[in-house]
Amino acid sequence: MDRRLNRPLIIAAIVVALALGVLLGMASGIADSIFGPNPKTIANASLQSMRAQNRLTVFAARYVSVVSSQQQRLGGLVSSERTLILPGDVRYELDLSKLQNGDVSWDGTAHTLSVKLPEIEIAGPDVDLNAVKEYGGGGVLSALTNANQQLDSVNRARAVSDLRTQAKGQVPMQLARQSARAAVERSFAMPLVAAGFKDAKVVARFPTDGAADPSYLDLSTPYDEAIANAERIRRQEAAGGR
């Protein structure tokens, strides 16, 4: 008797639950059709995701420096000359943690998301001592003094400085900035397109875009540290090969 009485109540409860589910689904669909996804919300979510990446390497290049030094004694009667060929790798990075909410703005009329980027940071050079070539004439001066060691030290300092100078050149900086713009624009555009904003445009710019001398942050490695790091890497590679 009790089971027969409870059965209609259970069926009625199920029908009510299904009806409420349908109504909630319809209400959600209506809300989405009225308000739609918010591009600002999507952009903010993308911003937080990018900030979580911290640093982004947008470009990398290898440079080679060739320097020579000469030492003379006794009015040029005795001399020693050494030449160094030193390759090194440089990275161009964006510190995405510097992006702030105010750096991202949405223009609903133009359907354009504008992003102001932090300046490019130069990291390195990471010199490759395994590929270093040092050569030069010995001569009497080299035989009698430590001229060769002195010249090699001078050459290495000049070579590391030259690698940094090459890395700051106009062409590699332009390539790094173009790569950075493209990477950031793509990262912001993909979620917008996925949300239905297929005509949305993302424009990433540096504060100094249009300036004759684009800015960058020089985080390049000092000479002593660059050589010490290279020596450490070479020792690790030698120990691993045993």
Tens of each residue's pLDDT in the chain, 242 residues: 444 545 555 444 544 444 444 444 444 444 444 455 788 999 999 999 889 988 999 999 999 999 887 765 555 555 677 888 899 999 999 999 999 999 999 998 999 999 999 999 999 899 887 888 887 765 444 444 555 677 778 888 889 899 999 999 989 999 999 999 999 999 999 999 999 988 999 999 998 887 666 666 666 666 667 777 777 767 777 777 66
- Whole-number pLDDT of residue 32: 45
Query: Which 3 state secondary structure label does DSSP give 186?
Result: helix
Identify which of 167, 149, 9 has the alpha carbon closest to the alpha carbon of residue 87: 167
99: amino acid identity, one letter: L
Question: Which residues neighbour 97 within 8 Å (Cβ) at sequence distance 6 or greater?
Answer: 51, 54, 55
- Whole-number pLDDT of residue 162: 93
Secondary element (H or E) of residue 21:
helix 2-35
Identify which of 39, 182, 55 has the alpha carbon closest to the alpha carbon of residue 113: 39
Structure token pair of residue 13: 């409860």
- Whole-number pLDDT of residue 205: 94
Q: How far apart are CA 109 and CA 89, in angstroms?
A: 44
Query: What pTM was computed for the model?
Result: 0.70
- Whole-number pLDDT of residue 185: 95
Strands (E), 118-216: 121-127, 133-135, 201-205
Q: How far apart are CA 161 and CA 75, in angstroms?
A: 30
Q: What are 193's strand-pairing partners?
A: none
Output phi, psi for 149, to 5 deg. Answer: -65, -40
Identify which of 42, 50, 43, 63 has the alpha carbon closest to the alpha carbon of residue 94: 50
Interhelix angle 223-240/147-167, nearest 10 degrees: 100
Identify which of 79, 37, 34, 66 has the alpha carbon closest to the alpha carbon of residue 197: 37
